[in-house]
Amino acid sequence: MPSLSRGDFELYETQAILRYLDRVIPGPSFTSEDSCAEARLNQLCGITDWYVMPQITMGIAFDRLVAPMIGLPIDEARIAASIPLAKVCVAEIARLLGDKPFLAGDTLGVDRANECTPELPKYNPRKAGC
């Protein structure tokens, strides 16, 4: 889990960190000035949080990739149950993309990421409560 510390202020969760950095780093915004593009970005963040994460990341990728690396059994039943829902997620994201090069706007929008690289948030399991 990514986290960010700035003085006494500590923050975790990717969306919260990116929105915070978007406000405090001078220069062009990470997000589009176009309200429809920003709304689409928020919609895709919601799809990712509520559908992609549980169905694809936890339902398939964890069991296929992470479980074997940490000595856990692969839960084939969970994977099988997740696949139909994962297909719905991917199909909806593909529908929203259409023939556009990017999901939310005409540009990548994270071209400012290099401005943040000197102090990238570091994962600290003790601070994350693990």
Q: What are the boundaries of each domain within the chain?
A: 1-30+110-130, 33-108
Strand, helix or coil for residue 96: helix
Under CATH, which architecture does the 33-108 domain have?
Up-down Bundle (1.20)
pLDDT band at 129 (very low <50, low <70, confident <90, very high): very low
In terms of phi and psi (left: phi > 0; alpha: psi -120 to 50; beta: otherwise), the region of 105 is: left
Structure tokens at 79: 């994977």
Give residue-wise pLDDT tens across range 23-50: 888 877 777 788 888 888 889 888 988 8
For the segment 8-14, the average pLDDT, to the nearest whole number, is 90
Nearest to 107 by CA among 26, 28, 19, 18: 28
Look-up of token digits 């839960």: 75
Per the prediction, the chain carries an average pLDDT of: 81
In percent, the amount of the chain with pLDDT more than 70 equals 80
pLDDT score of 123: 45
Dihedral sign of CA atoms 74, 76, 79, 83 in order: positive
Look-up of token digits 């940490």: 70
8 A C-beta contact, residue 3 and residue 121: yes
pLDDT at 115 over 80: no
